[in-house]
Amino acid sequence: MTETAEAPPEPLRFVIIGGENALRDRVREWKEFGIPLINAYGLTEVAVTSIVYTMEPDNENESWWEFPIGRPVANTRAYILDKELQPVPVGTVGELYIGGEGLARGYFNRPELTSEKFVPHPFSAEPGERLYKTGDLVRYLADGNIENLGRIDFQLKVRGFRVELGEIEAALDQHPAVHESVVVASGPAGGDKRLVAYVVCDESQPPSVHELKGFLKERLPHYMVPPIFVFMSAMPLSPNGKIDRPALPDPEQTRPELQVEYVAPRTEIEAALTEIWMQLLGLEQIGIFDNFFDLGGHSLLATKVVSRVRETFAVELPLRTIFESPTIAQLSESIANEDKADQEEIEDFAEILATLERLSEAETSALLKEKLETDATTTV
């Protein structure tokens, strides 16, 4: 509990919160007061309160860090569906649809919006029954409660993968040292997007970037692990108290925190590769032992590296080389070896031409005939 937190008045029997996802560390602090906390979820279109969850402070098994919105109230039905309006399995993210007695008829004098948001009930035999499309991304927890992960507006595609920013934030918030998190996609308009995680952490024992990445890798697919982390003392807020995402600072173009120490380029090849990587990754400093993928690289950027290597060194590298040699030191060796092999091939060819020039026409014909007979014997 924070030093500024004050105990509530004694007559208080319970507290109801709603409207926005509460901060998990604040919820954990509240548990110390010993007063039940009711998390209420609802929208005007479905009679305000549709789903509730009561957190009992004396329940030792309470998942206070998950902080679900709970289960539907009486006469209300909730469904978590995919884009084809089919139910999703437990733990899978989908959109929340709500129906039941509290469902509104629609929007006044807005038939198009009504038909967009109030959709036919896909599982009901009752004619005309509908569900409200909330636009909220949720999932079922193992105990059957529903966890809210944020708006579908924050769902986007990164490198061809569909990413739910709220799911990344929910995973980050489970780290014991993370008090609050916001994840955004950063990058130029029409250009390559990268995930950036803004976190407010425990200042007494702040986690490292490597620790947070490892924590997320155990819970999320690789493409949902942000390559960039920005540590904040507090999140910027709008006048109504919500997180002001446009006010979040742009991530610095500095080398991210890695397990390896920075080592500067030692050769011309390493220097040229470092320049290529800095331009493609948008960083101002890269060490020769830094892993390309730990710096935020991915398969699409790897193809650009191959193209730039071809332009710069006149060397054709297979794409797999970037995955097999993901550091500048390793990649420079691959380029040097490829260049050496090309040079040896050129020298061997020049030696053959020089030999042929010294032979007479008859000797050349005899040598060619011998070569063809040898090849034919080998093939048989």
pLDDT tens per residue, range 305-357:
999 888 888 888 888 888 888 999 999 888 888 755 555 554 454 455 556 66
Q: In this predicted structure, what is the pLDDT of residue 380? A: 47
Q: What band does 1 get if pLDDT is binned at 50, 70 and 90?
A: very low
Q: Higher pLDDT residue, 320 or 8?
A: 320
pLDDT attached to residue 365: 66
Q: How confident is the model at residue 209 (pLDDT cuts 50, 70, 90)?
A: confident
State the pLDDT at residue 96: 95
260 pLDDT band, cuts 50/70/90, is confident
Has residue 143 got a pLDDT over 90? no
pLDDT of 175 > 70? The answer is yes
Check residues 15 and 98 and name the one with the higher pLDDT.
98
Average pLDDT, the chain: 81
Mean pLDDT over residues 249-272, rounded?
A: 80
Least confidently predicted of 27-41, 172-186, 209-223? 27-41
CA atoms within 13 A on the CB side of 268: 3
Domains of the chain are 1-151 (3.40.50.12780), 159-251 (3.30.300.30), 259-380 (1.10.1200.10)
- pLDDT for 215 beyond 70: yes
* Tokens at 261, concatenated: 């120490």
Please report the pLDDT score of residue 33 as a whole number.
76
Q: Is the pLDDT of residue 358 over 90?
A: no
